[in-house]
Each structure stands twice: as structure tokens, then as C-alpha cells.
């Protein structure tokens, strides 16, 4: 299950990320409302933890824009203890729940489980492209007969490529989308993950390959 944390307090965001990843979630972090809106518009997250007070766009503005575009991602608002009007406004705009700061991490986990339960029941866990299947619950890929386990980052990369087949992504774009715009990741790291994914796709003998276009980027293509 993949979550997006939108929180401008970087230490708090990182603390939440560590706890959620220890619970088995895949987690992306952004630190302003503009990034939150862009990420939530492009990626099919299972849930968004959205701080109300953020630069560029407020959490309420992000929430309103997403709901006006009929995006039904479950959204948990983080609010100041005294901000009663913001909590009411957020619920009226379509937020699924809210949590006031400071909060216990145990309560945050419980709220996340509750708000994502509805989507988990309704959402198909299998993403397919040609004869390749990606199980977003078990983080496996399969050809319908044989399956292979992916690492968290391999899963995120392949999910992005499968949701955007034949679209080119540069290595820099992949790093920005998977690790975040401010991540200090060496280019070598993305090449290693792509190489591992290519080997796993070849082992499954599916008709899908990650193709490198020199000087441009990578795409998921059908190979016959």
C-alpha cells in the first residue's frame, strides 16, 4: 500500500515515513502544497496524509482541487489543535478524517488503517499490462503461472511504468517521482533497480520489457 505524506515540517515527515515503512507501507514525502497536488494527481496513492498549513498551496486548497477533479484518494488532514474551523472545512470539502497535532503515532496508524480500508475493499489489487501482472498487495509480479517478489523501490518504479506504458521517463524523472525531488540519490542507484527489474521480467518470459532510449529515458514496451 502506497501513501503520500505532505508535511512541511521535515523532521516530522521523516519520522512518520520511518514508522509507516516499518509497518510495510510504501511512502513518498513532499513538503509543500504544490508538490502534494502534483504527486497526488499523477500517482494512484492509497492514502494522503495532508497537513493543512503548508507553503504554496494550503492543505485545504489541495483537498479542494483533488475533489473537484473527482479524485477519491482517502485523505487524512493534520491540523493544529485550535483550528476547529479548518477541521470542519476539511470535512465539508471531502476529507475522510483529521488528526490534531501533536498526536500519538499509534493513533495515526489506526486512522490510516481505517481510512484506507474502504479503498482497499473496492480497489483491484492487480495491475496488468499485456501478459505482466503486478500485485500491489503482495508486491509480486507474475506471468499468470510464475511469480517473483519485488523490492519496494522496484515495485514503485514498475508501477509507475505500468500505469504509464510506452511513456518515456528520464533517470532524473524516475528519481524525482520515486525518491522525491530533494533526494540525494546517485544515478547508479536507479540503474541498479532498472537492471534488476529487467532480469526479473526476462526470467518470467513475459512480452514486456523496459526499453532504454539513449539520451532520453526509459519506457515499458511490448516485445514480440
The pLDDT value recorded for residue 222 is: 93
CA distances from 22 to 9, 40, 148, 152 (A): 20, 22, 22, 12
> SS3 for 6?
strand
> Among candidates 67, 50, 46, which has minimal Cα distance to 113?
46
On the question of pLDDT at 75 being above 70, the answer is yes
The pLDDT value recorded for residue 62 is: 93
Residues 117 and 137 in one domain: no
User: What CATH number does the domain containing 189 carry?
Assistant: 1.10.10.10
Q: What is the pLDDT of residues 132-186, one digit of tens each?
A: 999 877 789 999 889 998 887 888 899 889 988 889 999 888 887 777 665 567 7
The pLDDT value recorded for residue 171 is: 87
pLDDT (average), residues 99-124:
76
Q: Distance between CA atoms of 142 and 19, rounded to whole angstroms?
A: 29
Q: Distance between CA atoms of 129 and 219, rounded to whole angstroms?
A: 13
On the question of pLDDT at 73 being above 50, the answer is yes
User: What CATH number does the domain containing 108 carry?
Assistant: 3.40.50.2300
Single residue among 62, 95, 122 that ends a domain in this structure: 122
Domain that holds residue 60: 2-122
Q: What is the pLDDT of residues 196-217, one digit of tens each?
A: 999 999 999 999 999 999 888 9
Q: What is the DSSP letter of 207?
A: S
Q: Residue 117 — very low, low, confident or very high, per pLDDT cuts 50/70/90?
A: confident
Q: Distance between CA atoms of 119 and 132, rounded to whole angstroms?
A: 23
The pLDDT value recorded for residue 131 is: 93
The domain tally of the chain equals: 2
Residues 59 and 24 in one domain: yes
The pLDDT value recorded for residue 91 is: 82
Q: What is the pLDDT of residues 12-46, one digit of tens each?
A: 999 999 999 988 889 999 999 999 999 998 888 88
Residues 19 and 115 in one domain: yes
Is the Cβ–Cβ distance between 160 and 219 less than 8 Å? no
Single residue among 69, 97, 122 that ends a domain in this structure: 122
Amino acid at each position: 500500500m502506497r501513501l503520500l505524506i505532505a508535511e512541511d515540517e521535515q523532521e516530522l515527515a521523516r519520522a512518520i515515513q520511518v514508522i509507516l515503512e516499518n509497518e510495510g507501507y510504501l511512502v513518498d514525502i513532499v513538503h509543500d502544497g504544490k508538490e502534494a497536488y502534483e504527486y497526488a494527481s499523477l500517482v494512484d496513492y492509497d492514502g494522503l496524509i495532508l497537513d493543512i498549513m503548508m507553503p504554496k498551496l494550503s492543505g485545504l486548497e489541495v483537498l479542494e482541487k483533488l475533489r473537484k477533479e473527482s479524485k477519491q484518494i482517502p485523505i487524512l488532514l493534520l491540523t493544529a489543535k485550535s483550528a476547529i474551523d479548518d477541521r470542519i472545512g476539511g470535512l465539508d470539502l471531502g476529507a475522510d478524517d483529521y488528526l490534531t497535532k501533536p498526536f500519538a503515532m499509534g493513533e495515526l496508524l489506526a486512522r490510516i488503517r481505517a481510512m484506507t480500508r474502504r479503498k482497499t475493499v473496492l480497489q483491484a489489487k492487480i495491475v496488468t499490462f499485456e501478459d505482466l501482472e503486478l500485485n500491489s498487495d503482495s508486491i509480486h509480479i507474475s506471468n499468470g503461472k510464475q511469480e517473483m517478489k519485488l523490492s519496494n523501490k522496484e515495485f514503485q518504479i514498475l508501477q509507475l511504468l505500468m500505469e504509464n506504458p510506452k511513456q518515456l521517463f528520464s533517470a532524473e524523472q524516475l528519481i524525482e517521482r520515486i525518491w522525491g525531488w530533494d533526494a540525494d540519490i546517485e544515478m547508479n542507484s536507479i540503474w541498479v533497480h532498472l537492471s534488476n527489474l529487467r532480469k526479473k521480467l526476462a526470467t518470467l518470459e513475459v512480452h514486456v520489457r523496459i526499453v532504454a532510449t539513449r539520451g532520453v529515458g526509459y519506457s515499458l514496451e511490448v516485445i514480440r
